[in-house]
């Protein structure tokens, strides 16, 4: 199995036609396997969705998505997966909290998710981090729609919540045979992990974006502290982001898995309770000596505008032994689904509902959850349904089907 060619797109801002046209030209020269879009997708179906997107009225336009939503014959030249950013049509995406099709061959990851495609394990986190909303619940769809409360809540809807993060943290911290054999190849987020800027040429970045100076040099706050923590826990081959409308690359070399906790923590008040020594207590000294050093490649891209670096191809080796490697289908990640199911079934419990993220003991949640055995996985159960004509217009039905299969 050769390397897969994955196209990465920064902020979309509704410019699907331009992105797909450029993608098709690249695809004709050298075939591409997958497109990942890193937020600000702007899935506006009609003018009724304007009230649920954070864009000033004078800049509002429907964009290209409406055509893909209405016409099932329109589709990109390769399968496309996207996460949400901080300029999204939430009247639409809130109907797909666990992900689903928004048009033919375009799949939304939901608030957070992990998916397999052709031997690649791909994680995603939608939205941006704002500490004041982290431990709050999102307003309900019925409250927003029936009470005409979209406008005063729209900005907060994009903010990451602890229930979006907990399945990812549990997946990253679970030490079992499945995770040992299956590392994360690509992690997608809209805002950057806040520590990554210091592992690239940030002096050049500040020449291009001088208004980042305070965040980079003084506050150490360019991006999300929680994304940085997840980067250190997952140690993915690639972490890709958008949001800041600039191309930036960095490489971060991880220390061995017995690294001190303070090395992966920041001063963030919302850090969660982890004990890496406990997580790795089964490791032997011999294993520690032979643990290979891992490097995460970071790529941030610009928004879709002329002469801007918004679309780029990366090549990455998939797991040729994985069930998905010879398939054209996408699959949910069983470990993530197991943890998501646990969180959804227990989110009203005081240990989650009434406990701030930084006080939640992830080890306790993992211990309390059902342990997934590698040899018990029926991959056919985790296959994401193939696209069916006009299924994008059945958002509630897609979500109910997911709930019935995994969350009951």
Q: Which of 352, 214, 379 is nearest to 272 (CA)?
A: 352
State the DSSP string of 294-308: -EEEEEE---S-TT-
User: Do residues 127 and 99 make contact, with C-beta atoms less than 8 angstroms apart?
Assistant: no
Summarised one tens digit per residue, pLDDT across range 354-388 is: 999 999 999 999 999 988 888 889 999 999 999 99
Q: What is the mean pLDDT of residues 14-34?
A: 98
Strands 248-253 and 295-300: antiparallel
Residue 287, pLDDT > 60, answer no
Q: What is the mean pLDDT of residues 10-20?
A: 98
Of the listed ranges 108-117, 164-173, 283-292, the one predicted with least confidence: 283-292
Q: Which of 388, 80, 408 is nearest to 398 (CA)?
A: 388
Q: What is the mean pLDDT of residues 148-164?
A: 96
Summarised one tens digit per residue, pLDDT across range 178-235 is: 998 999 999 999 999 999 999 999 999 999 999 999 999 999 999 999 999 999 999 9
Summarised one tens digit per residue, pLDDT across range 304-330 is: 999 999 999 999 999 999 999 999 999
The DSSP 8-state label assigned to residue 328 in this structure reads: S
CB-CB neighbours of 243 under 10 Å: 23
State the DSSP string of 172-206: HH--SHHHHH----EEEESSPBTTGGGGB-HHHHH
Q: Which of 220, 201, 226, 196 is nearest to 128 (CA)?
A: 226
- In the block, tokens 């980067």 appear at 231
Residue 288, pLDDT > 60, answer no
Q: What is the mean pLDDT of residues 117-139?
A: 98
pLDDT category at 291 given cuts 50, 70, 90 is low
Residue 110: the pLDDT is 99
CA distance 53 to 51: 6
CA distance 324 to 164: 25
Strands 112-117 and 330-332: antiparallel
- Adjacent-strand bridge partners of 221: none
Residue 374: the pLDDT is 80
Q: What is the mean pLDDT of residues 128-156?
A: 95
Strand order in the sheet with 330-332: 248-253, 295-300, 238-241, 186-189, 120-125, 112-117, 330-332
* Token digits of residue 12: 């979309």
* Token digits of residue 18: 């331009």
User: Do residues 119 and 324 make contact, with C-beta atoms less than 8 angstroms apart?
Assistant: yes
CA distance 84 to 355: 26
Count of helices and strands (H, E) across the chain: 16, 13
- pLDDT over 90 for what percent of the chain? 86
Q: Return phi, psi of residue 298, to 5°.
A: -110, 135
Residue 274: the pLDDT is 55
Q: Which of 236, 229, 234 is nearest to 273 (CA)?
A: 229
Summarised one tens digit per residue, pLDDT across range 219-272 is: 999 999 999 999 999 999 999 999 999 999 999 999 854 433 344 344 444 555
* Token digits of residue 120: 């690649």
Residue 261: the pLDDT is 36
User: Do residues 352 and 45 make contact, with C-beta atoms less than 8 angstroms apart?
Assistant: no
**Mean of the per-residue pLDDT values for the chain?**
92
How far from 384 is each of 35, 66, 332, CA to CA, in Å?
Answer: 17, 24, 6
Residue 266: the pLDDT is 43
CB-CB neighbours of 32 under 10 Å: 20
Q: Which of 180, 279, 192 is nearest to 10 (CA)?
A: 192
pLDDT category at 334 given cuts 50, 70, 90 is very high
List the chain domain ranges.
Answer: 4-407
């Amino acid at each position: 199995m050769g390397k897969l060619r994955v196209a990465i797109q920064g902020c979309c801002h509704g410019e699907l036609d331009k992105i797909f046209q450029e993608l098709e030209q690249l695809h004709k020269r050298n075939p591409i396997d997958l497109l990942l879009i890193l937020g600000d997708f702007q899935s506006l179906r009609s003018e009724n969705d304007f009230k649920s997107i954070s864009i000033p009225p004078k800049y509002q336009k429907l964009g290209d998505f409406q055509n893909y939503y209405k016409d099932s014959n329109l589709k990109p030249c390769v399968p496309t997966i996207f996460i949400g950013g901080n300029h999204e049509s939430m009247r639409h995406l809130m109907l797909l909290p666990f992900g689903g099709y928004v048009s033919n061959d375009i799949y939304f990851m939901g608030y957070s998710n992990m998916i397999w495609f052709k031997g690649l394990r791909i994680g995603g986190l939608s939205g941006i981090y704002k500490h004041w909303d982290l431990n709050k619940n999102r307003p309900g769809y019925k409250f927003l729609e029936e009470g005409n409360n979209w406008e005063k809540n729209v900005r907060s809807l994009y903010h990451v919540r602890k229930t979006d993060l907990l399945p990812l943290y549990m997946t990253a911290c679970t030490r079992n045979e499945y995770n040992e054999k299956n590392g994360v190849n690509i992690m997608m987020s809209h805002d950057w992990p806040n520590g990554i800027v210091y592992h690239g040429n940030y002096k050049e970045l500040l020449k291009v974006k001088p208004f980042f100076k305070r965040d980079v040099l003084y506050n150490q706050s360019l991006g999300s502290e929680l994304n940085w923590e997840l980067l250190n826990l997952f140690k993915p081959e690639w972490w890709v982001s958008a949001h800041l409308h600039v191309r930036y690359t960095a490489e971060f070399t991880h220390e061995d898995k017995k690294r001190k906790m303070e090395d992966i923590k920041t001063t963030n008040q919302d850090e969660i309770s982890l004990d890496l020594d406990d997580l790795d207590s089964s490791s032997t000294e011999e294993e520690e000596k032979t643990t290979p050093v891992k490097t995460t490649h970071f790529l941030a891209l610009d928004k879709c505008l002329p002469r801007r670096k918004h679309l780029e191809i990366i090549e990455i080796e998939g797991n040729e032994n994985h069930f998905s490697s010879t398939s054209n289908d996408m699959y949910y990640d069983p470990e993530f689904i197991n943890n998501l199911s646990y969180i959804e079934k227990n989110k009203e419990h005081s240990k989650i509902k009434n406990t701030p993220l930084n006080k939640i003991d992830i080890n306790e949640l993992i211990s309390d959850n059902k342990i997934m055995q590698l040899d018990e996985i029926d991959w056919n159960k985790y296959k994401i349904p193939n696209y069916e004509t006009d299924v994008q217009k059945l958002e509630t039905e897609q979500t109910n089907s997911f709930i019935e299969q995994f969350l009951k």
